[in-house]
Chain A
Amino acid sequence: MEKPTQFELNDAIQRWRENVSKSPALRAEDRAELESHLRDSIKQLEAKGLSTEEAFLIARRRLGSSDALEVEFGKLNWKTIWAERAAWMIAGSLLIGCLSSLNSGLASLAGLLASGLALPRHTVGLFTAGTNLALFIITVPLTWRFLISGSRSLGTIAVRVREHPFLIAAAVAALTILSIALSMGFGFLRMYGAQYGAQDVGTLTLWQQASALFVQAMAWPVALAWVLQRMARKNKAAPSPTRRC
């Protein structure tokens, strides 16, 4: 059963470190200190005649589970935890703003194009609103997918951000600029469309705004509920003791 040649201590420690890195409760320095402890403990156990793999497993167990460590360190580092939560909330709301202005901008562009086809005014309006909702239905799950699935899970992103805190600052700045640029860009396009004889830009804008309002008031809560439900299902699949301080 024993395969001492296949056990690579540094890889095992690397995996352990990635596992404890998932929590903001432990700072980089705390992880380094725990790793130093783990290596001391492994050395001691090896000196007693255990194989490296056995020594690693016992040392890791004696150190405590990452959940237990998270709880104890969390009591001390609660400021870090809340600062990170706040940063994520700000980044999230900016992302929502970005998606909203992208969608409603694209919808009004579609409306402008449709108005060139000399359709009845309210058909154009409904078309604009429909495009807005359709874009929402397409882009939000896609963004969610992109953030959550595969190797780019939020946890991995969080670990990267924790190592380079300026990443999140850069992301927030980029999102803000993108959001403003998008709404300005589409504003210009609307003006341009009005100049070149798109019919009744007033009604069009009104429909566009109404549909954006509808999407924001109705579709976002539905999307959030969907996300929360998915998360709840995921948590049920992999039970973990309640953490947080």
Chain B
Amino acid sequence: MLSKELVAASTVPLVLSILTEGENYGYALIQRVQELSETRIQWSEGMLYPVLHWMEQEGLIKSDWREAESGRKRKYYRLCKEGKKVLQTEKEQWTTVHTALTKLWKNQPSLN
């Protein structure tokens, strides 16, 4: 399980990255994250929506209601230009941390 802080920090890059695969709706985003993390990343489901709405306010993503095959309406989110830019920055930052930690841990075999 991830710490609360790490969950909060990684939500935006995770959502942005999943949306690069194509537009999607809230429930499916949660499913995708669980699948990718082998259920180790657990979001409190309702809390994703305020984050999505905040991201939309910031112009990172855009949403619209559309009818799904089942006939029910769902709110789909898709990536915006600004979102792609933010994702690029996030990617660089997470990679920096990841690279640094990987290097350190490679030299410390006792940790493996």
Chain A interfacial positions (CB closer than 8 Å to B)? 29-30, 32-34, 36-37, 39-41, 44, 62-64, 68-69, 72-73, 75-76
Contact partners of A68 in chain B: CB under 8 A = 44, 46-47
Q: What is the distance, in angstroms, from A34's C-beta to the closest C-beta of chain B?
A: 6
Q: What is the distance, in angstroms, from A223's C-beta to the closest C-beta of chain B?
A: 39
In chain B, positions 1-20 with a C-beta closer than 8 Å to chain A are none
Q: Are A64 and B44 in contact (CB under 8 A)?
A: yes
B105 contacts the other chain (Cβ, under 8 Å)? no
Interface size on B, residues (CB 8 A): 18
Q: Are B75 and A41 in contact (CB under 8 A)?
A: no
Q: Are B75 and A72 in contact (CB under 8 A)?
A: no
**Known interface pairs A37-B26, A40-B27, A76-B54; A32-B45 also in contact (CB < 8 Å):** no
Q: What is the distance, in angstroms, from A218's C-beta to the closest C-beta of chain B?
A: 46
**Known interface pairs A37-B26, A75-B50; A64-B45 also in contact (CB < 8 Å):** yes
Q: What is the distance, in angstroms, from A55's C-beta to the closest C-beta of chain B?
A: 14
Q: Are A33 and B49 in contact (CB under 8 A)?
A: yes
Once bound together, how far apart are the Cα atoms of A224 and B75, in whole Å?
A: 44
Q: What is the distance, in angstroms, from B60's C-beta to the closest C-beta of chain A?
A: 14
Q: Are B45 and A72 in contact (CB under 8 A)?
A: no
Q: Report the nearest B residue to A69, measured CB to CB.
A: B46
Q: Are B57 and A76 in contact (CB under 8 A)?
A: yes
* 3 nearest A-B residue pairs (beta carbon): A64-B46, A40-B27, A72-B50
